[in-house]
Structure formats: structure tokens, C-alpha cells
Amino acid sequence: MHDRIAEYLGSLAAEAGLAVHTMAAYRRDLRRAVEFFHARKINDWKQLESQHLAELMAASRADGLAPASQVRLLSSLRGFFRWLRAEDGLEGRDPTRVPGKIHLWQRLPEILTPEESRALLDTPASDTWIGQRDRALLALLYGGGLRVSEAIGLRLGDLHLTRGQDDGTPGLLQVRGKGNKERLVPYGGVARERLHAWLEDGRKTRAGEERLVLLSKTGKGLDRHRAFRIVRDHAVTCGLSAQMHPHILRHSCATHLLIGGGDLRSVQEFLGHADLRTTERYTHLEVEQLQAYHKLHHPRG
């Protein structure tokens, strides 16, 4: 059973262009399933029946697996079985189609207010290389609405900051998002100034042969876990929650764009969402914000 999983993941890596973290999640999900089935004397995928899938999902829920992880587990198995049926010509009913869907409560993204966002971005010191790097990281996450993987994966050749510099129009970032899809992100104002300060000053004290924009103390690229700690530590320093993480800055960027008058399609392109429904989550926050403003300021609110 493990051999077929390895072949499937190999084909995904070659053909689908999935992110490294997505591939790792699929691998964990499928291994979890194999361990569960082996404990029940199921040693061949052909032996699998719908009831076995239902038992796996029930056991995962009882073990405290988060709803989103349960959805991904079932999705991983369904994708694997589609591949298996195509490769091996398995006949009969697909056992993964019976358990049905696991519906999640629609959770609204956490966001910061504009004042909290500015406070966080101003927290790192501007007179040390570490502070300049951290200011650049926070500016990319909020000013560019980047995912943390996109920010730490930026290379010097992806920056086109001099574009429109004389007339004040934004420069551009060439960003590689999920599925290795590329998009151009406008990037100007204070955010561009902070990134430029890092490139022209702090980064030069760390730079070696590495072409990544954000560097660590050793001159290597900044890793994902360190980026999370940077955001959390500065959040605590300025009085925000210790549960702060980089994606909250991306959520905040999207919501503030919509509140400021941005249309849904433009924000979708800016964030690199494949599905407009993902971007639509932020419209709920926009409505709540407008209702709060109305209640606060309208004479009959």
C-alpha cells in the first residue's frame, strides 16, 4: 500500500506542481490512512470498502483531528483513488465517494484594525539590520498581501521597485504563489520604502551568494518558522495577541482594500485567489465594519 502512495505522490510532484507543504500534508494523510487500515488487517487497496472509510473518518474525529484536517484527509484519499482507478483499472464503486462531505462552519478571517496594523509595522527598530529586515517582512505581508511562503521565497530578480518611482506609482513584485502560479503585485508607498531600506542597508551586511530578498543571521534565506516567530514576537511587543501569525496580515490587507473601495475581482487578482469565493469571505467583514461605522456615527444609528 505504501508503494502505491509513493508512486502517486511522485506523479503529483511531476504533473500537478503542488507546493512542498501541500505534498507533505498529502503524504501524512495517506500514511495515517494506511496505518489505520493495516491495524484492521487491510493490506491491499482493493480490499477497501466504504465502511472502512467511514470508520477512518469517525476515528479521526474521535482523536480530535480538526475539521479542516478531516476534510483534507478525505480529499487526499479521493484524489489517490481517482489516480489508482485510472492507473490500475479498478472496477466497481469508488469507496471514497460514500462517506459524503464534511461541512465546515464558515469562519471569518481574523483581522487587525488599520491602527493595529500600523503599530505592528512600526514596532521593529529601523537602525539595526534585524529591525530593517523585520520591517521589510511585515511590509511584504501587509503591504503586498503576500503569503509567508511567497514573502520568504521572493528573489532579487522578482523586484521591480524602480517602476514608476519618479511619478509615485507603485513598483511591482513578481510573486510565485500556490501551484507555482505567478502574479504581479503592485507595491509602493511606505512599504516600498521599507523594503528599499533593507536592500540598500541591512541586507548588505548579510549578503553572500544567496539571491533571496529576506536573509537570516547566517546569510541564508529566512525560513518559514522564523518568519512566524518574528511576527508573533513583534505583535507581543506592541500589545497584540501572542496568537498572531503572518496570514492575519494578509487577511487585514484584503479587508482594508475592500473597505477602501477596492472591487472584489481586483482584490482577487491582487491576492492570487484561484476562486472568487475565497475572496468573498472578506466582504462579510466589510459589511460588519460598515455597520459598526454607521452605528457609531449616524445620528439615528
CA distance 20 to 117: 30
Residue 132's CATH number = 1.10.443.10
Q: Residue 264 has what pLDDT?
A: 72
DSSP 8-state secondary structure symbol assigned to residue 153:
T
Q: Read off the pLDDT band of 99 (50, 70, 90).
A: very low
Among residues 111, 99, 97, 12, which one has the least CA distance to residue 57? 99
For residues 58 and 115, which has the higher predicted lDDT (pLDDT)? 115
Task: Mark whether 135 and 281 lie in a shared domain.
Answer: yes
CA distance 147 to 240: 20
Task: Mark whether 263 and 136 lie in a shared domain.
Answer: yes
Residue 241, in any domain of the structure? yes
Task: Tell me the one-letter amino acid at 279.
Answer: T
Residue 68's CATH number = 1.10.150.130
Asked if residue 111 lies in contact with residue 100, where contact means CB atoms within 8 angstroms, the answer is no
Query: pLDDT tens for residues 129-181?
Result: 999 999 999 999 998 889 899 999 999 999 987 755 556 678 888 888 877 78
SS3 74: helix
Joined grid coordinates for residue 195: 523594503
| Dihedral pair phi/psi, residue 111, rounded to 5° | -140, 160
Which of 43, 72, 97 is the last residue in one of the domains? 97
Q: Residue 120 has what pLDDT?
A: 95
Task: Mark whether 38 and 149 lie in a shared domain.
Answer: no
User: The cell 460514500 sits on which residue?
Assistant: 98
Task: Mark whether 93 and 127 lie in a shared domain.
Answer: no
Task: Please state the separation of Cα 34 from the chain's center in Å.
Answer: 28
| Residues acting as catalytic residues | 147, 178, 247, 250, 273, 282
CA distance 142 to 121: 9
Query: pLDDT tens for residues 4-26?
Result: 888 888 887 777 667 777 888 88
Task: Mark whether 265 and 218 lie in a shared domain.
Answer: yes
Task: Tell me the one-letter amino acid at 212.
Answer: L
Which of these ranges, 24-33, 36-45, 100-109, has the smallest mean pLDDT? 100-109
Highest mean pLDDT among 63-72, 153-162, 277-286, 289-298: 153-162
Dump strand ranges (E) for the chain: 159-160, 171-176, 182-187
pLDDT surpassing 90 at residue 93: no
Task: Mark whether 127 and 27 lie in a shared domain.
Answer: no
pLDDT surpassing 80 at residue 293: no
Packing angle between helix 114-122 and helix 246-259, nearest 10 degrees? 140
Range of the domain at 187: 114-296
Per cent of the chain over pLDDT 70 is: 81
Q: Residue 117 has what pLDDT?
A: 92
CA distance 299 to 301: 6
Asked if residue 154 lies in contact with residue 213, where contact means CB atoms within 8 angstroms, the answer is yes
CA distance 252 to 137: 15
Query: pLDDT tens for residues 190-246?
Result: 899 999 999 999 898 887 777 999 999 888 899 999 999 999 999 999 999 888 999
Task: Mark whether 60 and 158 lie in a shared domain.
Answer: no
Task: Mark whether 273 and 152 lie in a shared domain.
Answer: yes
Q: Residue 105 has what pLDDT?
A: 46
How does strand 171-176 pair with strand 159-160? antiparallel
What's the whole-model pTM score?
Answer: 0.63
CA distance 119 to 234: 10
Residue 143, in any domain of the structure? yes
Mean pLDDT of 110-127: 90
Mean pLDDT of 123-128: 93
For the chain, how big is the Rg over CA atoms in Å? Answer: 23
